[in-house]
Amino acid sequence: MDTEVLASPAGPRSEAAPKASFPFLDLKAQFQTIRVEMLAAIAAVMESQHFILGPEVERLEEEIKRVTGAHFAVSCASGSDALLLSLMALGVGRDDEVITTPFTFGATAGAISRLGARPVFVDIDPETFNVHGRELAKAVTSKTKAIIPVHLFGLVADMKSVMAVADKCGAAVVEDAAQSLGASFCGKAAGTLGTTGCFSFFPSKNLGGAGDGGLITTNRADLESRLKALRVHGAPTKYQYEMLGINSRLDALQAAILRAKLPYLPAWTEARRRNAQQYRRLFAKYDLLGHIQVPVEPDGHIHVYNQFSIRVKQRDALRRYLHKCGIPTEIYYPYPLHLQPAYAFLGYRSGDFPRAEAACREVVSLPIYPELKPDQLEAVVSAIAAFYTGFDFKGE
């Protein structure tokens, strides 16, 4: 069994000894660089004893508006709630259809289903992993109420084609920008290209809190007022419930932590982009471009690399080999949504979206966080090279 696991195009080879040991994401290293600011921000909230919404949250919303260029920003309890609240504000409900991708986190389609609407999946572009306008156009029906393009891994979807489809059929566009704060397309920030933009502040995101948190951007004043009411049980004025809402308020502690981190985001983004470029140079140096597909950054895009996801053959065997070498990896995402038990009621079958299904078998994410050192990047790539060539690069 072990021989089969370690077999590669270059043939069987001896088991590699561990060469490296570092995490997939090192939030402890990040914390050490901003410890003073972080603890001061937390202490200020504790002194104020104002924990739900309030001035700290309002200041974060203003700062995100400046970062993205959006006219309005409304915070909420999570990125999942950002999607749900957006659809609620747009009036999506029973018997409506919302088109999205099956190659994404479960919250994307979950928000649609929770409102009684029907997720309609379309296949992905095999290079960007995002939806494409051609696939969207084929899925539009008279019931199409909205489209949710996912800016996967930090790369904005082809919003020119998405918006062309949406404009033609009159659908709203809810950008799932959970992984893409700071990314842009043709000079416009993620979250400002559609009707709303939905961000997550989960700890693993490029701007992450110390728990859950989310935010919605929009350029429509009517949606801002509805979103602010919906996040507090549908009450624009205390105890006056004008619509059915939910409890989705951002904690002041999370807002303070995010505000302490936000000034560092441009430098962290640039470090991720440098690491991505170094990966590309190393893959070329080790002559690996015939074995793997590296992330693309099409003209007009700024990619922020929440994940650095490569596409490979023998993905699972490679992961096992890298684990033996002390190299951490993750899979985003191992199963497409249309084949998950929760969506069996939609009636999709294996083979309906072959490009998404292939991506789930072949995509693996490598460490990309800003604090990675050059020798750690080299260790990752040299281990991948050893797997595919059968040559141990130790000592080179």
Q: What is the pLDDT of residues 271-318, one digit of tens each?
A: 999 999 999 999 999 999 999 999 999 999 999 999 999 999 999 999
> Using CB atoms within 10 A of its CB, is residue 263 exposed (0-12), middle (13-18) or buried (19+)?
exposed
Question: Do 189 and 323 belong to one domain?
Answer: no
Is 12 among the domain residues? no
Please name the residues in contact with 322: beta carbons below 8 A apart, sequence gap of 6 or more: 328, 329, 380, 383, 384, 387
Q: What is the percent of the chain where pLDDT is above 90?
A: 91
Is 24 among the domain residues? no
At CB < 8 A and 24+ separation, what contacts does 314-321 make? 314/8, 315/361, 315/362, 315/363, 315/364, 317/5, 317/6, 317/7, 317/8, 317/387, 318/364, 318/384, 318/387, 319/364, 320/5, 321/5, 321/6, 321/16, 321/383, 321/386, 321/387
Question: Do 37 and 67 belong to one domain?
Answer: yes
Q: What per-residue confidence (pLDDT) applies to 13?
A: 43
Question: Do 79 and 227 belong to one domain?
Answer: yes
Q: What per-residue confidence (pLDDT) applies to 389?
A: 84
What's the mean pLDDT in 99-120? 98
For residue 208, which of 151, 266, 265 has the smallest C-alpha distance? 265
Q: How far apart are CA 322 and CA 314, in angstroms?
A: 12
> How do residues 55-95 score in pLDDT, each as one tens digit?
999 999 999 999 999 999 999 999 999 999 999 999 999 99
Is 177 among the domain residues? yes
Question: Do 102 and 198 belong to one domain?
Answer: yes
Q: Give 364-384 as a 3 state SS string.
A: EEECCCCCCCHHHHHHHHHHH
Element (H, E) at 61: helix 55-68
Is 338 among the domain residues? yes
> How do residues 213-267 score in pLDDT, each as one tens digit?
999 999 999 999 999 999 999 998 889 999 999 999 999 999 999 999 999 999 9
> How do residues 8-36 score in pLDDT, each as one tens digit?
344 334 444 456 688 999 999 999 999 99
Q: How far apart are CA 77 and CA 209, in angstroms?
A: 11
Question: Do 278 and 344 belong to one domain?
Answer: yes
The last residue of one of the domains, among 230, 263, 296, is 263
Q: How far apart are CA 57 and CA 145, in angstroms?
A: 31
Is 385 among the domain residues? yes
Contact of 208 with 201, CB cutoff 8 Å: yes
What's the mean pLDDT in 314-334? 96
More confident residue, 221 or 5: 221
Number of structural domains (the chain) is 2
Q: What per-residue confidence (pLDDT) applies to 132?
A: 85
The last residue of one of the domains, among 263, 280, 295, is 263
CATH code of the domain in which 319 resides: 3.90.1150.10
Question: Do 252 and 297 belong to one domain?
Answer: no
Question: Do 212 and 299 belong to one domain?
Answer: no
Q: What per-residue confidence (pLDDT) applies to 391?
A: 57
What residues make up the domain containing 203?
31-263
CA gyration radius for the chain? 22
Question: Do 43 and 126 belong to one domain?
Answer: yes
The last residue of one of the domains, among 263, 285, 300, is 263
**Type of residue found at 165:** V
Is 9 among the domain residues? no
- At 1, is the pLDDT very low, low, confident or very high (cuts 50, 70, 90)? very low
Please name the residues in contact with 237: beta carbons below 8 A apart, sequence gap of 6 or more: none
DSSP state of 74: E
For residue 177, which of 91, 67, 277, 279 has the smallest C-alpha distance? 67
Phi, psi of 352 (to 5 degrees): -65, -35
Question: Do 258 and 278 belong to one domain?
Answer: no
Question: Do 229 and 90 belong to one domain?
Answer: yes
Q: What per-residue confidence (pLDDT) applies to 16?
A: 47
| Token code pair at residue 49 | 């004893």
Q: What per-residue confidence (pLDDT) applies to 21?
A: 82
Is 160 among the domain residues? yes
CATH code of the domain in which 66 resides: 3.40.640.10
Question: Do 280 and 366 belong to one domain?
Answer: yes
Please name the residues in contact with 50: beta carbons below 8 A apart, sequence gap of 6 or more: 56, 252
For residue 99, which of 361, 353, 311 has the smallest C-alpha distance? 353
DSSP string, 97-116: EEEE-SSS-HHHHHHHHHTT
